[in-house]
Amino acid sequence: MSITVRYFASLSDRLGRREEAVDFTPGLTVAKVWDRVTSGAPLPSHILMAVNREYAKADTLVKEGDELAFFPPVTGGSS
């Protein structure tokens, strides 16, 4: 009964972890997961979110077994 939460790049460095499991509870949204994993820190507006490897929003509902990801703005290509 859990979901997987992944972090990338500078956010992963800041949080000091790349992945963790979070207990699933009904009605869980991406924003609520962020609140739980950061012990109530506000969700920065620049942070991007994905559910099951597709872009999602803060109010996207999460299902049991889902993979969530939080990451900073992307910087691919050459600079």
**Looking at beta carbons only, is 39 or 78 nearer to other proteins?**
78
Residue 69: φ, ψ to 5°: -140, 140
The conformation of residue 77, written as its DSSP 8-state character, comes to S
Q: How far is the CB of 57 from other proteins (least distance, A)?
A: 15
In the region spanning residues 47 to 76, those forming contacts with other proteins, defined by CB under 8 A, are 50, 53-55, 69, 71-76
| SS3 assignment for 6-49 | EECHHHHHHHCCCEEEEECCCCCEHHHHHHHHCCCCCCCCCCEE
Site membership for other proteins, residue 39 (CB under 8 A): no
Chain contacts with other proteins (rule: CB under 8 A): 6, 8-10, 13, 50, 53-55, 69, 71-79
